[in-house]
Structure 1
Amino acid sequence: MGKYKKWKRLVSVSTAACMAITAASLTGCSGGDSGSSQSGNENAEKKDASGSGESKAMGRYLEEELAVPKGCMEISSLQILEDGSMEMIAQNGDGVLCLYKSADQGADWDEGVTLASIFGLESSNGELFYKTALGKDGSILGGVYVEAKDENGLGIMDYYYCPAGGEGRKLEFENAADGLAWGMKIGANGNLFLQFSGNGIQEINPTDGSIVHEYEKGSSTDYMGVTSEYLIIVSAGEVYYYDVATGKPAEGGDVLTEQLKKTPSNLEFGNSSGTSLMFMDGDEEGTVFYVDSTGLYRYAFGGNVIEQVIDGSLNTISSANKAFEDMVLGPDGKIYIAEIDYNSSTMSGKLYSYTYSADTPTVPDTELTIYSLEDNSSIRQAVAMFQKKYPDIYLTLETGMSGDDGVTRTDALKTLNTEIMAGKGPDILILDGISSETYVEQGMLEDLSGILKAAGLLSNIEEAYKSEDGSIYEMPVKFGVPMIEGKKEDVDAVTDLTSLADVTEKHKEEYGLSTETFCKLPLAYSMYPKAFLEELADDNSAAWVKENGTLDEEKVKEFLEQAGRIYQAGKDGIEELKSAYPQAFDEGQQAEYDRSYGISGETIMLLNGNCSFAVGGVYSPMDFAYVTSMADTDSSLSYGIWNGQAANCFIPVNKIGISSKASQKEAAEKFVQYLFSEEGQTVSQKDGFPVVESVYDGEDYWNQGEEGKVLGSGYRDNSETGQGVEYKIVVPSADKVDALKQLGKTLTTPILDNAIITSAVSEAGVRYLNGEIGLDEATNAVIQQVNLYLAE
């Protein structure tokens, strides 16, 4: 029942000196056997205009987003042909894979031709094609999934190949490996490289289907990169190199392996679309380029230096919630990277070019520091887009808690407060989880009202953060709507936290193991006390603090008491689960509550019959589509606003503030203005609803296609009925969307979002739920812990 993050924390490192050397390496230089390059570019350094005599490094790759074919949902392959034209295989708006061509490297694309027609297949269903590859000579390779199973119960694949200027045909291989080739490339030598699940990699001659070489036979490989000289394989956390000409292991990659291992995501592959790592041919013999979440690098085999060509923190390379699909080097030295964007509702395909600019400073002149208590992927996305728009400003992201260094929230906040008071703190603060009242009282935050005046914010959101004198010291960039879904009669009966406890107790006899693998509980997180309390806290915490800023002891006590009733209602079922699956309750296996995942995953559990209620935030049109689609699938389900101890609450997302001690206030203000611009509000459509009224009311943000369009589908076994339920996630009707939009404008109270208070309540609450202490003792423990922190 736990939810887990898809991506590891990304860390960008600025290496100015290395970039000054390597950016010029693609514009005319010679590489030595050490793996480094010497610049022949006269513009690599430029004198300071002030006349100080100081020089600064010049030269940087600038990013540009290129056009993709209309309706492009996901890019499968990208290639620049020998004549300089570009080809792309991508899904069109109907999910059909097509071949597109561009004579001007991505400025304009033709209408496209379906792969099915190229290979002479009757069906035009692009979903049949599991993987594809393009050759530099214009050849095309495609793998078509066949539902027939092999002896291991796996699906099998038919392979189709179209030589340059020839006709497409089905390939017949000698001794082809069993199973699906979930990775495929066409080498510079014209051979086909097929990566099989659990059976290594085969290099195939497409002319006669013979096996040229086999690599890591019988082994499971995670990633395959093919250049004209090398085959690079990642398997079980290790990296292997082969000489393509001989099929034998290649020497000289130790330094590259060491560098790759510095970024954990380079060796972790669990994503069916795209990868976190991508290789391509280098600009000289014996060299390769690779891109990962930190940037693009060049390596000369046998050398001792890895050169950073592009710093990913200065562009969208470091953005979260995306993956690389393909990468090519153009004849003019431009680098092209195709990506899949998970921030959109349709996993859209994107194409970027990187062009060297000799007159752009290697590292921007102005540097800003942004602080957040925990890693923040949506702010990283906004930073990447901002730096693309303002290449003269460099933003560094600091995280108070990495998650693996043992630093607690209290430790992180103490360190932050000390740094701010000493004038060494960050310029910009993401105040999620941080209480800003003390900062405001001590004059540590700038008034944002002047900056936000022209933004045109939703009045209910703006008023929630406006002081009596009109000043504003923090403002969420986005917001979420708390929602509850369950059986209609139950949802109608829930008006607050106490009534939620009443209804869950009414169903007490239903909770427990209904089959060997399914169990029904009150809420999805009921079996994990800490996560359960944190989830409930979201829409109740606003009631815990009095107007004078002190904790309301009675409200905290009421929360613990009602949470205890809900937990006890499902305790018999939890005990049955513990007996049946003790490993799921080990300390290391406890699920963690992550607010940002919203309600959508829990709504599916309603179809399973695994819980009575789904509660959580709705943060996007897609989240809302899940809520409405579950009610459409099961007519007994209903949904509505979730009011706990406090009513009409909203969930602030990415509360932004500027430190009064910021060294670059003008640049900091520019970043805040960007966040509340139309582009800044729509960088991602998954992390919260816009707070700018024109964007919130506009059609573009909410557009997921025509009503009833299928956005996704699935199948669940119902533990209560024993029957399977097939569901589809579809675009909700306009009246349902309008009702949600109007609801969002009525929400006036932000949840408390104070990590110290929530932690104190959950820590004492877990002991109370487990019967270690009584209700009064748990309440007193919360009050004492919070007062102790405030006193410090």
Structure 2
Amino acid sequence: MRKNRIKRVLLQMTLILAAAASLYGCGRDGKVISDPEGAAAGTQKNQALGRYAESDVPLPEGVTYDSGLGFLEGPDGRPVLFARKEKNGTAEFTAYLLSEDLTWEEKECGWLNQLGLKYENSSIGITFGEDHNMYAVYSEGEDQEVISRHHVVAAGDWEYGQELDLPVLLETSEYGYKYYPRSITALENGNLIFSSGNNIYLYDAAGQQRLAELPGDGSSYFASGSQFYVIDEASKNLILYDGEDGKERTRYPLDLNQYFGTRALVRENGDISLLSVAGIQVLKSGSGIWEQIVEGKSNTMGSPKYYATGFTAGSQEDYFIYYNSMDETNKLSHYVYYPDMPVEPEKELTIFSLSDNNTIRQAVSEYQIENPNVKIDFQPLLEEGSAAVADDYIRTLNAELLAGEGPDILILDGLSEESYIEKGVLADITDEIERLTASGDFLANIAKECRVDGRIYSVPVRIGLPMTFGRKEALKEAGQLSSLADFVHAHETGQVFGTVDRDAFLSFYADAFLNDIVKEGDVVEETELTEFLTNMKRIIDGSEVSDGTREKRPSSIWGLLEKGTYLYSSEINGFYEFGQGASIIEQAQGELEADVILINETYVPYGTIGITKASKNQDLAIGFLQTVLSEDVQRSDFYDGFAVNQNALEFLCTVERTSADAYGGTIPGADGRTYDMKIGWPSEPLRRRMTEFCKTVKHSAGRNWKVKQILLEYSKDYFGGTASLEDAVKKLMTKLTLYLQE
């Protein structure tokens, strides 16, 4: 298998460890076969066999993100999915048991339907206890966090349930009821266990006597017989507790980078299976060593879009995982071990990137699910190393590329895109992008801006929009730097923008106007550079500059209402990030009437992707490009930019997403009114405006990330007042010209 020499040179030991951990089906009793073609050539290649593969299980009709309540092991050992639907304002509950042939058996849940819960207040936490009873926890009020009392219903069959009289749930404090468990379950001995707040509690079966109170902030738990396990994030351990007195019996160290959503189960033979974004690990009964059996990054487990909400085992050492997603969809995946599938996929596709990108990660996950014979090596380098060695990586990369070697795909953020195009490193992808543009799978205006001498060699996978929010009379002057500088100069210092972070402020406007400074053909326009520096100096001198203290921190967007500032500039990376500004626009009427404008018809490219001409896997690389630009991947909002797939962008424009709503309280406005400080999914008219901005932007913030860094670095003395304008321009012209001519 070919290895990326960049990593071999700089991270040799890291690669050795990574290779050992990247086996997709290690630890099972895999077979080893010989390669007859290799034998015929005088060599013999041994290939280990045995790997888990993922497939989707169709959900019962009508079960959606909103209606699905819980996926768990049911009373007869089969996986069961609980769901609800509305019937005359009341919640009607149904259970669906999954059979061996992956069909669903429907069960009416009389034990839940007898509660007569209103549909809008029917969120229930359901468990199956080790005592073979089903348990459900629900709240009697709308506020399920603190004020409301929780009720627990137990059922020995599907038809009838009985509310448990648990005195513990009646305990109160000055703020309301003390406990608000999301679920309660029973051990084999009948004792009850639940979490509430920052603790995990063990009670006797009657809920009268507390047997143990354990710290559990950030932890999750699961039962096994008359004992229980806690996945403890604080100590990074899986801890086994006695179910009689709650005393610790054993702990098993965990090595996880992320604990959110971690789940576990115990099989009949005592083996523990642990699910996390890293994949599935197994701790065999009597062993103290975790064994990786499923690699998370090769499937949905490692997807930034999905998060697991249910985890069960099948009868044949297989697994089922129920997922919800960031874009309010759901699915059920089945993981089956195939003894004849090669441990390592037959082909490898390498992606070089300096920094991480969730859209790329989602594409990697989806591509590998659809192409199990392909392994994608995507390990962002600055995630492994540090910014201090970025130049070392780039130099090594450049040497490989110029020698006709290196990765198959480049994520060009932070790299010299123009230089790679000029030196013939990148493959021509014009035909593919034109096909995607014609089908509505790529924005035509972005494709047009990506052309170099009429051809396309790279495209962004997301875009950001540099925008300014503010009072309408101020926005009239905010679109051009010269008129903006005049407007700031005519007002008191700090009145227009409030307090600004100088570096972030300069970076924002460099993104918006860099296209005017560096023209096509890498020509630096001295006049435009001089005007940019002059106007930015006037704007910054007319603003309060943050010194990093709490008392003088940068003004937030809420300063438009709270302090009566005139303008606020920010790069908006999706509909959700537009939520605060949308809230202000929708609330501020009269004297503080607010609106938003796009600056200089500019977009900021993110995750710019290109295929290297030397790649031996051109077809695979094109397939990955199609995946990352596909409507399915682009419909997800990872807060890393707007979709460049036109169909996905139009879809997101029509979505109403109430789960995005978040409130921070009320604030007094500068006009004497009170405003709600909130984030929410923008209204349809404002989403439509954002969509039209994305479809009409004309200028990229620049294919050359390094140009902006040089501009910011060598203008510091001028903005700090220790260098003249003439000296700053002269130095920048020299630095930029030399760099662009390399």
Structure 2: how far apart are the matches of 1:787 and 1:46?
Answer: 58
Unaligned runs of 5+ in 1: 1-10, 25-38, 267-274, 512-520, 585-590, 592-600
1:465 Cα offset (Å): 1.9
Does the 8 A contact of 1:625 with 1:732 survive in 2?
yes
Q: Distance in 1 between matches of 2:494 and 2:525?
A: 35
The change in CA–CA distance for 1:656 and 1:779 in structure 2 (over 3 A counts) is same
- 1:598 corresponding residue in structure 2: none
Q: Distance in 2 between matches of 1:633 and 1:279?
A: 46
**Alpha-carbon deviation of 1:632?**
1.8
Asked if residue 50 in structure 1 is aligned to residue 31 in structure 2, the reply is no
SS in 2 for 1:79: strand
**Alignment-derived partner of residue 97 in structure 2:** 103
Aligned to 2:585: 631
CA distance in 2 between partners of 1:411 and 1:156 (Å): 58
CA contact (8 A) 2:576 2:682 kept: no
Q: What per-residue deviation string (whole Å, max 9, x for no partner) do you get for residues 540-566 of structure 1? A: 222221223033344334333333333
Aligned to 1:186: 185
1:155-174 aligned at under 5 Å gives the runs 155=147, 157-165=149-157, 166-169=160-163, 171-174=165-168
Match of 1:471 in 2: 455
Q: Give the CA deviation at 1:180.
A: 4.0
Q: Which residue matches 2:605?
A: 652
| Paired residue secondary structure (1:72) | coil
Residues 14, 313 of structure 1: 8 Å contact kept: no
Task: Choose which of 541, 560, 571 in structure 2 pairs with 1:568.
Answer: 541
For the pair 1:384 / 2:365, whether they are aligned, the reply is yes
CA contact (8 A) 1:313 1:384 kept: yes
The partner residue of 1:225 within 216, 221, 224 is 221
2: CA distance, partners of 1:171 / 1:774: 79
Deviations 1:650-677 (A, max 9, x none): 2223221011222322211221122333
Letter in 1 for 2:194: L
Return the offset for 1:569.
2.3
Residue 79 in 1 paired to residue 79 in 2?
A: no
Structure 1: distance between partners of 2:463 and 2:644: 7
Q: Tell me how far apart the structure 2 counterparts of residues 17 and 693 of structure 1 sit (CA, whole Å).
A: 36
Residues 235 and 385 (structure 1 numbering): CA distance in 2 closer, same or farther, change over 3 Å?
A: closer
Q: Distance in 1 between matches of 2:462 and 2:371?
A: 22
Residue 128 of structure 2 contacts residue 135 of structure 2 at CA under 8 Å; is this kept in 1?
A: yes
- How far has the Cα of 1:771 moved from its partner? 3.4
Q: What is the CA deviation profile of residues 72-101 of structure 1, one whole-angstrom value per residue up to 9, with x for unaligned ones?
A: 248663212132554345687999987542
Q: Does 1:296 align with 2:247?
A: no
Q: Residue 433 of structure 1 aligns to a residue in which SS?
A: coil
Contact 1:488/1:637 (8 A) holds in 2: yes
Aligned to 2:525: 552
Q: 1:93-148 deviations in whole A, cap 9, x for unaligned?
A: 99998754213367658699799855455x4433776x654547451232538799
Asked if 1:712 is matched to 2:685, the reply is no
Number of the residue aligned with 1:759: 709
Q: Name the CA distance, whole Å, in 1 between partners of 2:129 and 2:673.
A: 48
Query: Is 1:210–2:208 an aligned residue pair?
Result: yes
**Equivalent position of 2:294 in the other structure:** 310
Aligned match of 1:462: 447
Q: Secondary structure at the match of 1:395?
A: strand
Over 3 Å counting, the alpha-carbon distance change for 1:777 and 1:281 in structure 2 is: farther
Partners of 1:480 and 1:618 within 8 A in 2: yes
Give TM-score, length-normalised by structure 2.
Answer: 0.82
CA distance in 2, matches of 1:14, 1:294: 15
| Distance 1:90-1:606 versus aligned 2 partners, 3 A rule | farther
Alignment of 1:613 onto 2:605 = no
Q: Distance in 1 between matches of 2:577 and 2:606?
A: 15
| Cα distance per residue 1:251-282 (max 9 Å; x no partner) | 554xx41xx24x3323xxxxxxxx24222214
User: Is the Cα contact below 8 Å between 2:317 and 2:336 reproduced in 1?
Assistant: yes
- Please, which moves more after superposition, 720-729 or 303-312? 720-729
Letter in 2 for 1:164: G
Query: Per the alignment, do residues 361 and 107 of structure 1 end up closer, same or farther by CA in structure 2, a change over 3 Å counting?
Result: same
Q: How does 1:223-302 map to 2 (within 5 A)?
A: 223-228=219-224, 229-234=227-232, 236-239=234-237, 241-247=239-245, 249-250=247-248, 253=251, 256-257=252-253, 260-261=254-255, 263-266=256-259, 275-282=260-267, 284-285=269-270, 287-300=271-284
Q: Secondary structure of 1:313's match?
A: helix
Q: Give the AA of the match of 1:277.
A: T
Identity among equivalent positions (%) equals 21
Distance apart, 1:631 and its partner CA:
1.8
1:428 has 2:409 as partner: yes
Distance 1:120 1:99, change over 3 A: closer
CA distance in 1, matches of 2:144, 2:431: 65
Give SS of 1:530's match: helix
SS at structure 2 position matched to 1:407: helix
Question: Per the alignment, do residues 56 and 159 of structure 1 end up closer, same or farther by CA in structure 2, a change over 3 Å counting?
Answer: same
Deviation at 1:417, TM superposition (A): 1.4
Further displaced range: 652-661 or 493-502: 493-502
* Distance in 1 (alpha carbons) for counterparts of 2:729 and 2:723: 10
Determine which of 687, 695, 700 is the counterpart of 1:750. 700
Q: Which moved more, 1:436-445 or 1:409-418?
A: 409-418
Partner of 1:269: none
- Given that 2:149 and 2:180 are in contact with CA atoms closer than 8 Å, whether structure 1 keeps it comes out as yes
| Matches of 1:194 and 1:494, distance apart in 2 | 55
Amino acid at match of 2:497: P
Amino acid at match of 1:306: W
Cα distance in 1 for partners of 2:637, 2:108 equals 28
Task: Spell out the pairing of 1:272-671 with structure 2 (5 A cutoff).
Answer: 275-282=260-267, 284-285=269-270, 287-300=271-284, 303-342=287-326, 344=327, 347-402=328-383, 405-407=386-388, 409-456=390-437, 457-468=442-453, 470-508=454-492, 511=495, 522=497, 526-571=499-544, 574=546, 578=549, 581=551, 606-609=560-563, 612-623=566-577, 627-635=581-589, 636-643=592-599, 647-671=600-624
* DSSP-derived class of the 2:310 partner: strand
Give the secondary structure class of the aligned counterpart of 1:455: helix
SS of the aligned residue for 1:326 comes to strand
Measure the CA separation in 2 of the matches of 1:177 and 1:238: 32
CA 748–17 in structure 1, closer or farther in 2 if over 3 Å, else same: closer
- Give the CA deviation at 1:385: 0.7
> For 1:401, what is the secondary structure of its paired residue?
helix
8 Å Cα contact 2:602/2:701 also seen in 1: yes
Cα distance in 2 for residues equivalent to 1:442 and 1:617: 32
| Letter in structure 1 aligned against 2:457 | Y
CA displacement at 1:434 relative to structure 2? 2.4
SS of 2:272's partner is: strand
| Cα separation, 1, equivalents of 2:179 and 2:709 | 47
Letter aligned with residue 372 of structure 1: S
Q: CA deviation at 1:209?
A: 1.2
Asked whether the equivalents of residues 81 and 87 of structure 1 are also in contact (C-alpha less than 8 Å), the reply is yes
Instruction: Give me the whole-angstrom Cα distance separating, in 2, the residues matched to 1:763 and 1:279.
Output: 50
Tell me, what secondary structure is at the counterpart of 1:396?
strand
Structure 2 CA distance for aligned equivalents of residues 101 and 651 of structure 1: 48
Equivalents in 1 of 2:166, 2:239: separation in Å? 28
